Amino acid sequence: MIPHVELPTPPPLVHRGLFVAFEGGERVGKSTQVAALRDHLAARGVPHLVTREPGGTPVAEQIRALVLDPRHAGLDLRAEALLFAAARGEHVRAAVLPALERGEVVVTDRYLDSSVAYQGVARGLGRDVVEGLSLWATGGLVPDLTVVLDGEVTTGLARVADPDRIESEPLAFHETVRRAFLGLAARAPHRYLVADAADPVAAIASRVAARVDELLEAG
């Protein structure tokens, strides 16, 4: 009989900093909003780290290159989920957690919800399985705030010039991802800010900045 391996779910990780993730579909404007929040924090003199997933450390950047490479079109779906989780585990231990422990604000372009939406829901591996895998990989680190930029899939995909392995998926896949992010936000609205990606950049940025300032003041 094959033994069944149960991944222990760690309790939420406690730290002194503030962890903010940006999520959303392809080319929905995340990077612009990440940069706007970085400028806001810099202007206020708040120590911060801006990073991204997959990536953020030399090893995780190598995993990014591997997992997004369109030459690996037939990559096994479980291998894909494990690679994203491996990159995340490395990123958290080597970069995110040390900054949070120093009391900094960490802003990441994508995090765990991307795995849940893309691998768990759109790939069909199961939301809970994929979430559990990432929680195990990171030791239970969840964002204090997740900003979901919700935008028309066709608008985002039209901005993609040179599609990577995941951007090359059909429209229906990306529509499922979009719905999955909204579902995750609806599950815990106090930990999310959902913004319409079609709103003016400055309007979204000021909503995000106000929410982050509120969280910083609440300590």
Residues that bind ligand TMP (CB under 6 A): 26, 52-54, 68, 84, 109-110, 114-115, 118-119, 166-167
Please, which residues have CB within 8 angstroms of residue 11's CB and are 6 or more apart in sequence? 140
Residue nearest to ligand TMP (CB): 118
Q: How many residues does the chain have?
A: 219
Separation in Å, CA 169 to CA 6, 49, 121, 154, 175: 31, 31, 14, 12, 11
> Residue 179 CB, nearest distance to ligand TMP (Å)?
15
User: Residue 15 or 64: which CB sits closer to ligand TMP?
Assistant: 64
Minimum distance from CB of 2 to ligand TMP (Å)?
A: 27
Least distance in Å: CB of 124 to ligand TMP? 13
- Closest approach of Cβ 68 to ligand TMP, in Å? 6
What residues are paired with 196 via a beta bridge?
Answer: 150
Provide, rounded to whole angstroms, the least separation between the CB of residue 212 and ligand TMP.
21
45 or 138: CB nearest ligand TMP: 138
Which CB sits closer to ligand TMP, 17 or 55? 55
Nearer to ligand TMP, 137 or 212 (CB): 137
Q: Round to whole Å and give the CA distance between 19 and 50.
A: 10
| Residue 88 beta carbon to ligand TMP: minimum distance, rounded to whole angstroms | 7
* Tokens of residue 147, six digits: 């900003």
Chain position carrying tokens 């372009």? 109
Answer for the pair 116, 180: CB distance below 8 angstroms, yes or no.
Answer: yes
Nearer to ligand TMP, 18 or 117 (CB): 117
* Those residues with Cβ within 8 angstroms of residue 54's Cβ, 6 or more apart along the chain or in another chain: 60, 61, 63, 64, 67, 68, 83, 84, 87, 88, 91, 110
